[in-house]
Amino acid sequence: DKFTAKLDFNMDVRNKFVLRHSYVKGDNLEARNSGENNIGFINGSEAFITTTNSTALEWSYSGDKVANNLIIGYTTVRDDRDPSGSPFPTVDIQDGNGIISFGSEPFSTANLLNQDVFTLNNNFEIYSGRNTITLGFNIEHAKTKNLFFPFNYGDYTFEDQFDDDGILLSSGLNQFLTGQDADVYQHGYSLLGNGAVGDESAGSSEFSTVQLGFYAQNEYQVSDNFKAIFGLRVDVPYWEDGITNSEFVNNTIPLLRAAGKDLQGARPGQAIDALPHFAPRLGFNWDVYDNNTTQIRGGIGVFTSRLPLVWPGGTYNNNGVTGGFNFIFGQEFEADINNQFEDPAPGSGSVGGNVDLIAKGFKLPQVMKYNIAVDQKLPIWGLIASADFLYTDILSDIYYENLNLKGPTGRLNGVDNRPTYDRRDEIDPTYNRIILASNTTEGYSYNASFTLRKPFANGFQGQISYSYGDSFKIFDGTSSQNSSQWRNIQTVNGKNSFLEDSRSDFSLGSRISSNASYEISWTENIKTTFGIFYEGAQGTPFSYVYREGRDLLNDDSRDNALIYVPARQGDITFADQSGDGGLTPQQQWDAFNAFVAGDDYLNSRRGDYAERNGDRGPWSHIIDLKVLQDFSLKLGNNVHTFQASLDIFNFTNLISKDWGERNFVPRNVGLLQTVTAGPDPVFTFDPDQWVDGVSQIDDFGLASSRWQMQLGLRYLFN
């Protein structure tokens, strides 16, 4: 539901005022779904209600030599995320290759966010000869209330059990049905102990942030055909201190330091230093022959990013004082959300749970961008060719480490001799994960594109473009939780192993796009336009990992260990599944070896580890069709037009059900199952699971593999 109101008041020819207000309320149900390998019951869906009110007052002054624009804004956001079904613990049951899930969505059980944001922005321009000077500032103050306790109703996982030879002893389904203990129990809750659960829980974080921005820029017209722009922006972020944790400072920090951990000045509840972030920039635009035939443009500059408030918000939620968290192996199932196991007990004054820290000298993400581009009019058919290249170098980015994890405790035997850990033996068992956010300078990206465009003439216009981009980072920032950023990373040697940059989840790869339209004027009042659009896109990158269930690295319950690609049969040990109706070790090796040989990427990695996001999904090719029919009528000096439109998205799928498939591959492909961990791990490979390869067909929303049709009617008048 949207409502917008706006009032314009022209006080005189130089002063104008605008008062505007907008109201937006959204109600979204994200339904839990099912697939080939999972059954998801509807009571695990997520209901999200958001309400935003935004008011702004703008004053614009225009003089002969100066101009000014001032905007004062105030915005309130109220977000409430809840389970859609009746309150019930989250239950995940493993049953062979499948997972059965029911109960409340685990991250929506105690989750709300209130924000009140005040902004003040002013731009003052000075016109002096060939110079246009801009002096400005942007001040933003935000008050935030964030309540978040994951798994607040309790979360239980029942896993399949195997013997040392990989033979199934008991399925997770059988364990649940026979009342056995859960393999894993998780529960986040308030330590402040008001007895409530869900959104009524005590212990929400309430804090304020301020970001000050100051900038100066000069747009200098060097000559009639050359313009230069140079400037400097300075941003200063500030967050207020939160709740301190004296027990952590006095007892845990000495233990972490003794284990060789560098906290980089971080303390629970301690804000970062208010450091200035300098961002100089230089750009130019050169019309080489001063006739709009050849244009060269480009620039170099530093750009400072904002941080999602939920990341620093984690340091106010997870301080070891307000929120407890249990991660327990072997726990009796309890269906009552008000009677979940909690240790330490709420209200006892004890500390525990996860702890989020930010290095005291932490800097906001900053990048240096280099850009050069050329636009050239060609002598035939009025074509315009453009080439563009952009290179981005990371100056500072976010980096995560679990300080509570000890170093390696051993190594695997054989050609794959990576280190292993013991995640249950924490440096300080008082707490679970202690996640430190600091900075790294690792990472870069580049993007090149070429476009050939035919401007509209004689009823025809068209364009074709090719672009290729690649990007390399360490942490992509895909989760709202700091601990999940660390837990989700795919590695060879462990998540704390001084990670280097690798291909980003958002690496673009290759993309070809083209469009063309042709307009036919039957009479002065009747016109038909045909349009076609084509996109060919390379698939997103993905990683080959060992399937969850048994730990290989054992640095976290989400192992995310990249696979070792064996060069020969003796490099890997397969379990004998023949006694359980499966394949012998030899049959599994033959099938796996054939799979690797048939995949160019995996075959190139024999005798080495798969890389994070080292492979890409297949190409997808999509064609859309559009038809416009105009009927016009001229009355006096005015033209009235009725326009009917027909859009067919994924047009080729309308012609054949086998065409127009959008392919995608999950971020993690669990090619091998670890059935026995330890120094001499044992694996299984199920060739039936990969008969159709690793890619799947995308069939969700407008950008799906199904054709869709849209009819429209528009009335245009002047």
pLDDT score for 163: 75
Percent of residues, the chain, with pLDDT higher than 70: 99
Beta bridge partners of 554: none
In this predicted structure, the answer to whether residue 337 has a pLDDT above a threshold of 80 is: yes
Q: Which of 307-311, 488-492, 584-588, 665-669 is the least confident region?
A: 307-311
Question: What pLDDT was estimated at residue 166?
Answer: 65
Q: Own/partner pairs for 696-703, CB < 8 Å, 24+ apart?
A: 696/663, 696/664, 696/665, 696/666, 697/661, 697/662, 697/663, 697/664, 698/620, 698/662, 698/663, 698/664, 699/662, 702/649, 703/662
**Cβ pair 145, 206 in contact under 8 A:** yes
Confidence of residue 626 (pLDDT cuts 50, 70, 90): very high
The widest CA-to-CA distance across the chain, in whole angstroms, is: 90
User: Measuring CA to CA, which residue among 121, 134, 128 is closest to residue 59?
Assistant: 121
Interval 463-485: pLDDT, tens: 999 999 999 999 998 888 899 99
- At residue 425, does pLDDT exceed 60? yes
Strand partners, 48: 28, 81
Our separate counts of H helices and E strands in the chain read 8, 40
Higher pLDDT, 645 or 344: 645
Kindly tell me if the per-residue pLDDT of 348 is higher than 90.
no
Distances from the Cα of 479 to the Cα of 62, 95, 471, angstroms: 45, 28, 19
Identify which of 538, 470, 480, 537 has the alpha carbon closest to the alpha carbon of residue 505.
470
pTM above 0.75?
A: yes
pLDDT in tens, 572-621: 999 988 877 789 999 999 999 999 999 999 999 999 999 999 999 999 99
Taking only the tens place, the pLDDT of each residue in 88-142 is 999 999 988 789 999 999 999 999 999 999 999 999 999 999 999 999 999 999 9
Give yes or no for a contact between 223 and 380, defined as CB atoms under 8 angstroms apart.
no
Give residue-wise pLDDT tens across range 48-99: 999 999 999 999 999 999 999 999 999 999 999 999 989 999 999 998 878 9
Residue with tokens 């024999």: 606
Contacts of 374 by beta carbon, 8 Å cutoff, 6+ apart: 294, 295, 296, 297, 386, 387
Q: How far apart are CA 31 and CA 45, in angstroms?
A: 4
Average confidence (pLDDT) over 298-303: 97
**16 DSSP β-pair partners:** 10, 60
Residue 550 has pLDDT above 90, yes or no: no
Residue type, 536: G
Q: Which is higher by pLDDT, 60 or 200?
A: 60
Please report the pLDDT score of residue 578 as a whole number: 85
pLDDT at 549 (0 to 100): 56
Residue 123 has what pLDDT? 98
Burial class (CB in 10 A: 0-12, 13-18, 19+), 306: exposed
